[in-house]
Amino acid sequence: MLQDTFGRRFYYLRLSVTDVCNFSCSYCLPDGYQGRPDEAFLSPDELVKAARGFAAMGTQKIRLTGGEPSLRSDLPEIIERIHTIEGIQTVAVTTNGYKLPQRIKRWADAGLTQINVSIDSLDPIEFKHITGHDRLPEILDGITEAKALGLTVKVNSVLMKDVNDDMTSVLHWLRTNPVTLRFIEVMETSDQEVFFRQHHISGGTIKSRLLADGWQPVLRKVADGPAQEFWHPAFAGRIGLIMPYSKDFCATCNRLRISSLGKLHLCLFAEQGIDLRPLLQPDVPLSAMIDAVTRHLGAKKAGHDLFSHASGAMANLSQIGG
């Protein structure tokens, strides 16, 4: 089992399949994707080899992310091949929900078990303002469809002061909708320092409100993501809080990342990725990748340095995969 020098075990891999995105979220790519859309992102064979190596090291859960993973036409093939790897119990996709109703059945048939959809506002006008796309009804339909297909559905909302920190519409929605909505504290990236200063608000404020209103913490499982989740008997849905600026956030870190170009990132905010791509080629034994990952894991630090505004190699989250 992969374990670092601080005793943390890594059950969870986030595998980015592309940097490209068609949305222009105000905290991520406000001017839209500016990179090279024709860049050679990892092929299905390379992604599967990476996933096989991590499964052999004890990884149980793989999340496909980006950029926008649904922009890859071979996403169903990638899901299908990863889903059949021995030891992988959960295959998840994080998506902006673009054309979700048309796509979700194919992904479910391929073996997808969980989907995380980003919705920063349940108000269509605000949603368009944040993302640049008037697609909220379509995305909500996609979520209904995903639930009907038996998938675990979670919604990600980046928590932004004076934008969506009034929870009235969220609470109304969760009364009858059995999904988990997770507020993610906005993280500072080198592209978005001003936005961060204007809109960052601690998830602790929301947590205090939830506890005061009778919400109760849910116990974590080993391959769970970083959210602290809460349930309430009067609500069908749950609320999660992802608070990277909270004390001890990194102590429960159980995940590693591989970028769409094959760099291993020990932390979202680590300086450099470690190039695994040469080791993902057909003529290289899987053991070479496993050795490299095990060796480099020793360099994983106890925590990120976001408090001193050091965002490492991260210009925006579409680069490495949020």
Instruction: Give the residue with the Cβ less far from ligand SF4, 192 or 228.
Output: 192
Measured from the CB of residue 316, what is the shortest distance to ligand SAM in angstroms? 6
Burial class (CB in 10 A: 0-12, 13-18, 19+), 316: buried
Instruction: Give the residue with the Cβ less far from ligand SF4, 194 or 219.
Output: 194
Judge contact between 250 and 306, C-beta under 8 A. Answer: no
Q: Strand pairing partners for 154?
A: 116, 180
- Provide the Cα torsion 57, 58, 63, 69; round to 10°: 30
Tokens for 322, please give them. 């949020």
Give the footprint of ligand SAM on residues 31-70 (CB under 6 A).
65-66, 68
Judge contact between 110 and 82, C-beta under 8 A. Answer: no
Judge contact between 66 and 52, C-beta under 8 A. Answer: no
Strand order in the sheet with 180-185: 216-217, 228-231, 238-242, 180-185, 152-159, 114-118, 90-95, 61-65, 12-16, 255-258, 263-265, 274-275
Measured from the CB of residue 297, what is the shortest distance to ligand SF4 in angstroms? 27
Instruction: Give the residue with the Cβ less far from ligand SAM, 157 or 177.
Output: 157
Measured from the CB of residue 147, what is the shortest distance to ligand SAM in angstroms? 18
Instruction: Give the residue with the Cβ less far from ligand SAM, 52 or 68.
Output: 68
By CB under 6 A, residue 28 contacts ligand SAM = yes
Q: Shortest CA distance to 284 belongs to which of 296, 276, 274?
A: 276
Instruction: Give the residue with the Cβ less far from ligand SAM, 2 or 119.
Output: 119
By CB under 6 A, residue 164 contacts ligand SAM = no
Candidates 47-55, 134-142, 290-298, 314-322 — which segment interacts with ligand SAM by CB under 6 A?
314-322
Candidates 55-63, 162-170, 183-191, 252-260 — which segment interacts with ligand SAM by CB under 6 A?
183-191
Binding site for ligand SAM (CB under 6 A): 21, 27-28, 65-66, 68, 94-96, 118, 156, 158, 184, 186-187, 189, 192, 317-318, 322
